[in-house]
Structure 1
Amino acid sequence: MQSIFMHTKMELRLLSRDIIGLFFVFIMPALCFYFFGKLFETQHADDLQYFNQYIPGMIGVVLFTAGFYIVGLQAVIDREKGVYKRLKGTPVRTVLILQAMVIKGLFAVIIGSIEILLIGHLGLDAPLNVNVMQFLLSMLLAASAFIAVGFIVASLFQRVHSALAIGFVMLYPMLFLSGATIPIESLPSSLKAVSVVIPLRYAVHLLQNGWSGRLFTASSIGDASVLFVILAIGIILGRNIFKWDRS
């Protein structure tokens, strides 16, 4: 227990110094959320369904950025600096580092999600008509899947600049083709087809179902299946991050 506490404390200290991660998890989603909320609030002033889709959608963005930038990018940075290589021959157990990284990712998700909820309620006067238990369950699955995405990224990319480039390429489709900011049904047919391959689309829809109390319906089965597949791939590939002899 003491070992996991020490590793988690170290990971959280790294998080406090991670300018890129802090920006993409706590600043960028909040600014986008407030901007789009103000932009469309006059059109949806009395439309509760709008907030039921928009708030969980932006929380989905937080889940993606936390998994990619807080977990995945930091793992790439640590490996590039030779942190994992220096751990070779030490008694440090890989599972402890894995657990500490997951806890750090979940901590970022919780804080970022609370931030979105506060902005929505206090800044946009959005009603928080949420099914708490179902939404938390949907968040847990979606957050786990995107933390797994972070491990996938860390296992595939050896250099920070490569991972950052992929992150920037992925960010805009995730924002605008997932239903997080613009409803899928409002997209042109060509972009709807592209959105099928956007992982965040499935997380956003699952979160929206959880928010409105429709998590345990047939419409959630496909979303949950995709997220479970992503989680499984992340677990399998993520093990490669912790091979101490990698440079």
Structure 2
Amino acid sequence: MKRFLTLLKIEGKLALRGIDGVFFGVIMPVGIALLLGMICGNKPAFEGATHTYLQENVPAIITVGICATAFMGIPLGIADYRDKKILKHYFVTPVSPSIILFVQVAINMITAIVSSLAVFITMKIFFGYEMTGSIVNFIFAYFLVMASMYGFGMLIASVCNNVKAANLVCTIVYFPMLFLSGATIPFSILPDGLQKLSNILPLTQGIKLLKGYALGIETNLTIPLLVMLISIVTTVIFSIKLFKWE
């Protein structure tokens, strides 16, 4: 634990110096939420709906911050350390791959949580957003989705040899997740073909889970729950097993 806390303190100070995480992890999700609110206001999600368009889509917007930190923060940070031979120096210390990875997870988790709170507070103040479902279940789903996305980020961080490779893989994974899962473009307006394609993305299932709990519609969430749990276990195990020091 002492090793973890020491490294966490160092990484926390370094994270405060970077603006990328704040912009993509916090400012961007809040901007998307404000844009959606100005366009849609408190219109019903569809004709005869008992919830508004915002109530349906705000739970999806908070995943923008999760994805930004998962696919930009964790992999690029570790890959940069690998490029600069910093990990090679860690290899001869008592610091293990799991400590290095989980410290990065903890730092980026703080950014993602701040991002989510900023989105909810902004939507509450300017558009009167209210969650109709269970807040406890929603928080559970939120951390489950975060763990799933961070698992993929850890896996990319573990196997990419350098920053260029990490950038390429993150781009290939990040942008389809961002635009096809419903995080930025509402899933309901996507053509049928794209909806079928996006259903294979783990984040799509995660957003279904968040929406279900946020709206109090807790039926048919077994598949999203299983996808989240399987992806977490698989990616975390492989990220630690496949970790490259250089």
TM-score by length of 1: 0.87
Please tell me whether the aligned partners of residues 154 and 241 of structure 1 are also in contact (alpha carbons under 8 angstroms): no
1:185-196 equivalent positions in 2, closer than 5 A: 185-196=188-199
Q: CA deviation at 1:161?
A: 2.6
SS of residue matched to 1:48: coil
- Match of residue 38 from structure 1: 38
1:182 aligns with 2:185: yes
1:70 to 70, 73, 85: 73
Per-residue displacement from partner, 1:162-207 (whole Å, max 9, x unpaired)? 3223433444432332122333332212211221232211111111
2:122 aligned partner, one-letter code: I
1:161 aligned partner, one-letter code: K
Percent same amino acid among aligned pairs?
A: 26
Q: CA deviation at 1:242?
A: 4.5
Q: State the alpha-carbon separation in 1 of the partners of residues 18 and 238 from structure 2.
A: 24
1:119-158 equivalent positions in 2, closer than 5 A: 119-158=122-161
Q: CA deviation at 1:43?
A: 4.2
TM-score by length of 2: 0.87
Please tell me whether the aligned partners of residues 134 and 213 of structure 1 are also in contact (alpha carbons under 8 angstroms): no
2:187 aligned partner, one-letter code: I
Structure 1 segments of 4+ aligned residues over 4 angstroms from their partners:
42-47, 240-243
Q: CA deviation at 1:102?
A: 2.5
2:211 to 208, 212, 217: 208
Please tell me whether the aligned partners of residues 121 and 128 of structure 1 are also in contact (alpha carbons under 8 angstroms): no
1:107 aligned partner, one-letter code: I
1:6 aligned partner, one-letter code: T
Q: CA deviation at 1:72?
A: 2.1
Q: State the alpha-carbon separation in 1 of the partners of residues 28 and 39 from structure 2.
A: 16
Between the two proteins, the alignment pairs up a number of residues equal to: 243
Extract unaligned runs of 5+ from structure 2: none
Per-residue displacement from partner, 1:70-92 (whole Å, max 9, x unpaired)? 22221111212211111122233
Q: Is 114-123 or 164-173 further displaced after alignment? A: 164-173
Please tell me whether the aligned partners of residues 65 and 115 of structure 2 are also in contact (alpha carbons under 8 angstroms): yes
- Match of residue 228 from structure 1: 229
